[in-house]
Chains A and B, each alone.
Chain A
Amino acid sequence: GQQLNQSPQSMFIQEGEDVSMNCTSSSIFNTWLWYKQDPGEGPVLLIALYKAGELTSNGRLTAQFGITRKDSFLNISASIPSDVGIYFCAGQGGPNYGQNFVFGPGTRLSVLP
């Protein structure tokens, strides 16, 4: 099945900097989800988006559901060392995928002290 595209693939930032990453698809989705995964652990749900154009925050994290329904963005403000990990996006619904979820390959974030 199709997977989503995430960029950048990896990024190295200084502690305190803001981070932006995005997720794109050739198909439209009804729901976008963002997860964070630490090494050897299961992904943890950060934010769920249900409506095109929606902007949702969770602490220092802000995510947006793209207006075309084919993309989503995640921003992290004032990064800290515990932000290190892999960030995955997932799309759900739309005409091509029904109830199931499609995942991106992840953006690996490293935070330098």
Chain B
Amino acid sequence: DGGITQSPKYLFRKEGQNVTLSCEQNLNHDAMYWYRQDPGQGLRLIYYSQIVNDFQKGDIAEGYSVSREKKESFPLTVTSAQKNPTAFYLCASRLAGTSYEQYFGPGTRLTVT
């Protein structure tokens, strides 16, 4: 059963702590993405990776870090430097080449207090 999994669904952290959100896909997709969603806004791109061991900053990368050591995994770390980390985080992937159909995981809601 192919798809994208994100864990955990809900995450609570104290201010000043780093936290890592998991994203795994078994679709054999080449590109993976992290987005942040805030109420009433469209999705904003944090980081993306087109290939293993390579990733690029998106529009709002400050305070976040990623790694892409395996094709199927693209974890996102929300660091203490992120000023307003409470949000809904969505991971997505797509097959490279001429397909631009991007598929999303179920999301992780992070609350930092």
- A: residues with CB less than 8 A from B are 1, 3-4, 30-31, 33, 35, 40-45, 48, 50, 88, 90, 92-93, 99-106
Per the bound structure, the CA–CA distance linking A40 and B87 in Å amounts to 11
Which of B50, B59, B100 is the one whose CB lies under 8 Å from A1? B59
Contacts of B35 in A (CB 8 A): 103
**Beta-carbon contact of B45 and A1 below 8 Å:** yes
**Beta-carbon contact of B42 and A40 below 8 Å:** no
Per the bound structure, the CA–CA distance linking A41 and B35 in Å amounts to 13
**Beta-carbon contact of A45 and B103 below 8 Å:** yes
Contacts of A31 in B (CB 8 A): 100
Which of A33, A41, A88, A104 is the one whose CB lies under 8 Å from B101? A33
**Beta-carbon contact of A33 and B105 below 8 Å:** no
Per the bound structure, the CA–CA distance linking A10 and B41 in Å amounts to 13
Contacts of A50 in B (CB 8 A): 100
Contacts of A106 in B (CB 8 A): 42
Closest to A101 in B: B102
Contacts of B40 in A (CB 8 A): 105
Tell me, rounded to whole Å, the shortest Cβ–Cβ distance linking A1 to chain B: 4
Closest to A2 in B: B59
Chain A contact surface mostly: loop
Per the bound structure, the CA–CA distance linking A103 and B40 in Å amounts to 12
Q: A33-B102, A42-B90, A42-B106 are in contact. Are A103 and B58 (CB under 8 A)?
A: no
**Beta-carbon contact of B42 and A41 below 8 Å:** no
Q: A41-B106, A42-B105, A88-B42 are in contact. Are A33 and B100 (CB under 8 A)?
A: yes
**Beta-carbon contact of B109 and A40 below 8 Å:** yes
Contacts of A41 in B (CB 8 A): 106-107
Tell me, rounded to whole Å, the shortest Cβ–Cβ distance linking B102 to chain A: 6
Per the bound structure, the CA–CA distance linking A104 and B44 in Å amounts to 10
Closest to A32 in B: B100
Contacts of A99 in B (CB 8 A): 31, 50
Q: Which 10 A-B pairs have the closest CB atoms?
A: A103-B42, A42-B104, A1-B59, A103-B43, A31-B100, A3-B42, A105-B42, A42-B106, A42-B107, A43-B104
